[in-house]
Amino acid sequence: MKKDIHPDDYRMVVFKDISNEKSFLTRSCAPTKESIQWEDGNEYPLIKVEISNTSHPFFTGKMKFVDTAGRIDKFNKKFAKFASKNKASEVEEEANAEG
């Protein structure tokens, strides 16, 4: 195994699944600016994740639609202007082709 390739700054960190509010305490070196008070009364760094083993369909056996950040709405808003431009250009092309 190669030496000096793994970080040395591992510490206890709380990971919180924001889709179902479940949390677990483990060791990590991932950076974070947030913290939370854990069940033992100590304060630990907090890392929020969108999906974990407590909400993933593979582990739960249930199919669940997870749209925590409103991604579909964001996508539709972002690309709505392109859809309207495409429709306008199609209508314009049809008018040019006919006349």
Question: Same structural domain for residues 59 and 83?
Answer: no
With 60 as the cut, is the pLDDT of residue 99 above it? no
| pLDDT tens digits along 28-51 | 999 999 999 999 999 999 999 888
Question: Same structural domain for residues 58 and 75?
Answer: no
Question: Same structural domain for residues 23 and 54?
Answer: yes
| pLDDT tens digits along 2-21 | 888 888 889 999 999 988 88
- Report the pLDDT value the prediction gives residue 9, as an integer from 0 to 100: 86
Report the SS3 class of residue 99: coil
Question: Same structural domain for residues 53 and 17?
Answer: yes
pTM attached to this predicted model:
0.57
Question: Same structural domain for residues 58 and 87?
Answer: no
Domain hosting 81: range is 69-99
What is the count of structural domains for the chain?
2
